[in-house]
């Protein structure tokens, strides 16, 4: 008697789809008719901080050294290195507009997968790549400085100068996969480590004399957009967020389409969905930017996440601080809505 079993690949797809839809999400905003949004935020933020192991390392004083500088188109671009809370050295570009009017608002500009901070700062040495980045408007730190904002564009762990030494020797573009696996083996995550690094950047920025510490905002595209949400969710000093190609449900994006391991927080589905994470930003301004044809953050999942997020902002009586911009193309940055949004709300 023979047994006919189904296609193994289809079974794998369905089993992991069940995992995506079956997570408990026990701290999701709408799971239990939540009405007290402030206490909900406190509980979820604490649970996520524990899951990220944000306080796992001894505290270090956050200090920086200036390595060099060069003139850009309407701004001075300084290369600096910031020592973070856990001792990590975070290379970053600090962009200061010509004729700065201080105290000024500051844009934290987080890059996605690629060469690191050079993309956001418009400092790529590869002319062909730099042209592609400009077309995709991913040089948003440079554009912010040209608009009169201070801007900080740090490397995220696994990219730029924050790779492992062997990658620098062999000129591999990133070590985010290795770092993710090693962090998981140690009971941590690259998500938590990167959020801690960004919080260290906020520490440094807020202490600068020319900075209006009440007007620090964060933006980024793809992985940079994802970490814009994570950072603003966990650090309430950030006054607003403009994530691009990032807001979506876990179920439609990271649990259905290939994404880098560096964007996964182990066990997060037991706690919440990604729109719940974004809901921790309320009532602060949040503009979600996406591409109608983005293949890794499907528009269906984006709209579902945004609908859920609207309920959180409504509970916080902050519906006017939430908006969604859908660009006509795919996985890229859209600068068009950024400047009016910041001018009106920050």
26-345, CATH topology level = Rossmann fold (3.40.50)
- Taking phi over 0 as left and psi of -120 to 50 as alpha, with beta for the rest, 70 belongs to beta
Task: List the structure tokens of 306.
Answer: 């945004």
* Residue of 87, 226, 210, 222 whose CA lies nearest to 152: 210
> For 309-338, how does the pLDDT look when each residue is reduced to its tens digit (9 = 90+)?
999 999 999 999 999 999 999 999 999 999
Q: Helices marked H in 235-293 — which ranges? A: 268-271, 274-279
pLDDT at residue 2, as a whole number: 73
Nearest by Cα to 250 from 17, 12, 20, 6: 20
Q: Report the distance separating Cα 138 and Cα 154, nearest Å.
A: 14
Q: Which two tokens stand for residue 4?
A: 């006919």
Please give the helix or strand (H or E) that residue 306 lies within, else none: helix 299-315
- Give the whole-angstrom CA distance, residue 76 versus residue 304: 41
Q: What is the dihedral of CA 313, 318, 320, 323, to 10 degrees?
A: -30
- pLDDT of amino acid 34: 61
pLDDT score, position 18: 86
Q: Which residues contact 255 (CB under 8 A, 6 or more apart)?
A: 16, 17, 19, 20, 269
CB 141 within 8 A of CB 95: yes
pLDDT average, residue stretch 233-237? 98
Contact 213, 203 (CB under 8 A): no
How is residue 7 annotated by DSSP? P
SS3 239: coil
Residue with tokens 């944000």: 54
Which residue in the block uniquely carries the two structure tokens 């192991």?
53
The reported pLDDT for the residue numbered 59 is 81
User: Quick check: 183 pLDDT over 70?
Assistant: yes
**Structure confidence by residue, pLDDT tens digits, 65-96:** 999 999 999 999 999 999 999 999 999 999 99
Q: Dihedral (C-alpha) 38, 44, 50, 54: value to the nearest 10 degrees?
A: -60
Tokens coding 277: 């994470």
Contact in structure between 225 and 243 (CB atoms under 8 Å)? yes
Q: Which residue has the tokens 């500051």?
A: 106
Q: Spell out the residues 6+ positions from residue 101 whose beta carbon is closer than 8 angstroms to its own.
A: 148
Of 25 and 272, the one with more pLDDT: 272
Percent of the chain's residues with pLDDT above 70: 96
Structure tokens at 165: 């030494």
DSSP track, 195-214: HHHHHHHHHHHHT-TTEEEE
Confidence of residue 60 (pLDDT cuts 50, 70, 90): confident
What is the helix, strand, coil percentage profile of the chain, to 5?
40, 20, 40
> What is the model's pLDDT at position 30?
77
Which residues sit opposite 121 in a β-bridge?
Answer: none
Locus of tokens 């905003």? 29
The overall average pLDDT reported for the chain is: 93
Half-sphere exposure of 306 (CA within 13 A, CB side): 22
């Amino acid at each position: 008697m023979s047994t006919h079993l189904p296609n193994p690949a289809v079974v794998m797809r369905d089993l992991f789809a069940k995992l995506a839809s079956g997570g408990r999400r026990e701290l999701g905003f709408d799971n239990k008719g939540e009405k007290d949004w402030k206490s909900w935020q406190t509980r979820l933020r604490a649970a996520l901080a524990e899951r990220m192991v944000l306080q796992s390392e001894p505290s270090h004083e956050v200090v920086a050294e200036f390595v060099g500088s060069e003139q850009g188109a309407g701004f001075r671009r300084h290369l600096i290195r910031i020592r973070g809370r856990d001792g990590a050295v975070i290379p970053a570009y600090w962009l200061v507009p010509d004729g700065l009017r201080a105290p000024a608002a500051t844009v934290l500009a987080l890059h996605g997968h690629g060469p690191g901070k050079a993309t956001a700062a418009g400092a790529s040495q590869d002319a062909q790549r730099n042209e592609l980045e400009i077309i995709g408007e991913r040089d948003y730190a440079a554009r912010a400085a040209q608009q009169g904002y201070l801007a900080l564009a740090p490397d995220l762990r696994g990219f730029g100068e924050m790779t492992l030494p062997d990658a620098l020797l062999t000129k591999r573009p990133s070590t985010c996969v290795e770092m993710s696996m090693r962090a998981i083996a140690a009971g941590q995550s690259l998500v938590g480590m990167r959020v801690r690094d960004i919080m260290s950047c906020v520490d440094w920025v807020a202490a600068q004399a020319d900075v209006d510490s009440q007007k620090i905002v964060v933006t980024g595209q793809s992985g940079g957009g994802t970490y814009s949400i994570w950072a603003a969710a966990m650090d309430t000093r950030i006054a607003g967020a403009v994530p691009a190609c990032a807001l979506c449900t876990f179920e439609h994006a990271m649990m259905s389409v290939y994404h880098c391991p560096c964007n996964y927080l182990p066990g997060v589905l037991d706690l919440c969905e990604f729109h719940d994470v974004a809901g921790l930003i309320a009532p602060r301004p949040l503009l979600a930017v996406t591409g109608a044809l983005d293949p890794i953050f499907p528009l269906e999942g984006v709209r579902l996440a945004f609908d859920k997020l609207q309920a959180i902002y409504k509970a916080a009586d902050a519906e006017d601080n939430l908006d969604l911009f859908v660009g006509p193309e795919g996985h890229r940055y859209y600068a068009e809505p950024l400047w009016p949004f910041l001018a009106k709300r920050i």
